[in-house]
Amino acid sequence: MRTQVAIIGAGPSGLLLGQLLYKAGVDSIIIENQSADYVLSRIRAGLLEQVTTDLLKEAGVDKRLSKEGLVHHGINIIYQSSHLHIDLTQLTGGKTVTVYGQTEITKDLMDARSSSGLQTIYEISHASIHEFETSNPKVQYTKNGRSYELSCDFIAGCDGFHGISRASIPKDAIKTYERIYPFGWLGLLADTPPVCHELIYANHSDGFYLCSMRSPTRSRYYLQCELNDQVQNWTDERFWEALKNRMGSELSSNLITGPSLEKSIAPLRSFVAEPLKFGRLFLAGDAGHIVPPTGAKGLNLAASDIRYLSRALIEYYQDGSECGINYYSQKALARIWKGERFSWWMTQLLHQFPDQTNFDRKIQQAEFEYLSSSEVAQKALAENYVGLPY
C-alpha cells in the first residue's frame, strides 16, 4: 500500500490531522493498535481553548460541538477559604473556553472520516517504522495474522507517550525533559448536576480538588491523592465525604452525589521531547509532550501541533515548499513550552506538596494574594487559559 501521509494513532490528534489533510486534498491512512470501541471508551478531559474550537470548525467537525458544547466565560480559584473569580471573557477581550469531552471529539472525527470513505486500520500489531530519514519512509505492521507494508512520503507519530514513534528514534538524536510530580489525581465521573456552572480549582490543606463537568447532567470531580494510592481504596462514599470536607459547608451544600460511572487515578507528569522532527517522521501530541492536567493544556497542545503540522504538509503538497515542515518542530515547541510553563505554575499554586516547607506555603499564599489583587496577573492567567495565539 502507498499513501502520502501515514498517521500512527487514531486518537484525536491523528484523526484531526487526517481530517485537515483530507479537506486539502492530501491522502492519508491511519493505523491504530486498539479497536475503535476501545479508543472511544477512554475517558479524557475536554476543556477546549477558543483556538482549538476554531480549528475543529475549520476541520468541519463542529456541528455537535456548537450545539452541545458548554461555553464558559470564567473560572473559580479557591485558596484555603479565599475565593477568586477569573472573568476570562472580560480579561481577554471576549474569548471563552468550551467544555466538550475528548470522547465526543474523537467520535465526531471518526464519523467524519467514515462518511468520507477514508481508511483507518484498527487492531494492528507489531508496528514498526523504517527509513524515515529517507524520502521513502515505510510503516510495517500485522493485521489478522498477515504482514503489511505502508509506503509514504511522511509519517506522523500521533500514538501517545508509550507509542512506537518516539521509541523508534535513536536515543542520541533526541533529548527529553521531565518532571514527575509526587501525587496523583483521583477522578470520579457521575451522572449528577455540577456543583457550579463554572470550573472550580481549589487548594485545600488536605490537597487540591477540582469541580468540573461533561454536561449539565454529568459531573467530573478530582481529588489530589498519594501517588501510590489505589482506586479500590476509594468507595464512592469515601470520595464524596473527602470532597465535601475539602469544599466546606457552604459549597458542599450545593453538591449532589450519586453512584460513580468511572473512577481512576492519574499520575501527573511534565515531559517534552526535542526535536519533534526526524527526517520525515514528526511527533505530535502525547508522543512528544505531556503536561499535568491542572492547566487543561494536554488536548489543546496536541491540537496546536496538528495545526502546525497540517499546514506544513499542505504547503509542501500544494506549493512545493519545505519551509513549514523544516520549521514544524521549532514552531510547535515554542507554544508547547509556554503551555508547560502555565501547567507547571497552576500545579505549583494549587497543590499540597509532601516536602513543602513553611517558606513554600508562604510563597504559595503570596502568589494567590498577588493574583487576587492584580488585574495584570489575572489577565496573564486568563490569556494562557483561553489559549495563546498560534
Q: Which residues are catalytic?
A: 72, 201, 293, 297, 385
pLDDT of residue 215 exceeding 80: yes
- Residues 207/210/211/213 CA torsion (nearest 10 deg): -150
- What pLDDT was estimated at residue 19? 98
Q: What pLDDT digit, counting tens, does each position of 263-296 carry?
A: 999 999 999 999 999 999 999 999 999 999 999 9
**Is-contact 225 188, C-beta < 8 A?**
no
Reported as a pLDDT band with limits 50, 70 and 90, residue 41 is: confident
Distance, in Å, from the CA atom of 48 to the CA atom of 69, rounded to the nearest integer, reads 10
Q: How many H-runs (helices) and E-runs (strands) does the chain carry?
A: 14, 20
- What pLDDT was estimated at residue 31? 97
pLDDT of residue 43 exceeding 90: no
Distance, in Å, from the CA atom of 142 to the CA atom of 123, rounded to the nearest integer, reads 9
Distance, in Å, from the CA atom of 307 to the CA atom of 303, rounded to the nearest integer, reads 6
Reported as a pLDDT band with limits 50, 70 and 90, residue 262 is: very high
Reported as a pLDDT band with limits 50, 70 and 90, residue 371 is: very high
Q: What pLDDT digit, counting tens, does each position of 123-140 carry?
A: 999 999 999 999 999 999
- What pLDDT was estimated at residue 158? 98
- What pLDDT was estimated at residue 145? 92
Under DSSP, the state recorded for 70 is E
Q: What is the mean pLDDT of residues 185-207?
A: 96
pLDDT of residue 2 exceeding 90: yes
pLDDT of residue 374 exceeding 90: yes
User: Which residue is associated with the grid cell 496523583?
Assistant: 184
pLDDT of residue 109 exceeding 90: yes
Alpha carbon of residue 278 to chain centroid: 23
Where in the chain does DSSP place strands (E)?
Answer: 5-8, 28-31, 47-48, 70-72, 74-79, 82-87, 97-99, 120-121, 125-130, 138-143, 146-151, 154-157, 175-190, 200-204, 207-215, 218-225, 260-274, 277-278, 281-283, 289-290
User: Which residue is associated with the grid cell 491523592?
Assistant: 225
- What pLDDT was estimated at residue 94? 96
pLDDT of residue 44 exceeding 80: no
**Is-contact 166 178, C-beta < 8 A?**
no
| Type of residue numbered 311 | R
- What pLDDT was estimated at residue 206? 96
Over pLDDT 70: what percentage of the chain?
Answer: 100
Where in 9-81 does DSSP place strands (E)?
Answer: 28-31, 47-48, 70-72, 74-79
Please enumerate in sequence order all residues whose Cβ is within 8 A of that of 26, keeping only pairs 6 or more positions apart, or say none.
Answer: 4, 5, 313, 314, 317
* Average pLDDT score over the chain: 96
Distance, in Å, from the CA atom of 20 to the CA atom of 359, rounded to the nearest integer, reads 49
Domain 5-72+97-178+270-351: which topology?
FAD/NAD(P)-binding domain (3.50.50)
**Grid coordinates given for 7:** 498517521
Reported as a pLDDT band with limits 50, 70 and 90, residue 3 is: very high
- What pLDDT was estimated at residue 27? 97
User: Which residue is associated with the grid cell 454529568?
Assistant: 218
Q: What pLDDT digit, counting tens, does each position of 224-239 carry?
A: 999 999 999 999 999 9
Reported as a pLDDT band with limits 50, 70 and 90, residue 385 is: very high
Give the CA diameter of the chain: 64
Q: What is the mean pLDDT of residues 161-171?
A: 96
Q: What pLDDT digit, counting tens, does each position of 310-360 carry?
A: 999 999 999 999 999 999 999 999 999 999 999 999 999 999 999 999 999
Over pLDDT 90: what percentage of the chain?
Answer: 96
pLDDT of residue 42 exceeding 90: no
User: Which residue is associated with the grid cell 508562604?
Assistant: 362
Q: Which residues pair with residue 78 across a beta bridge? A: 83, 202
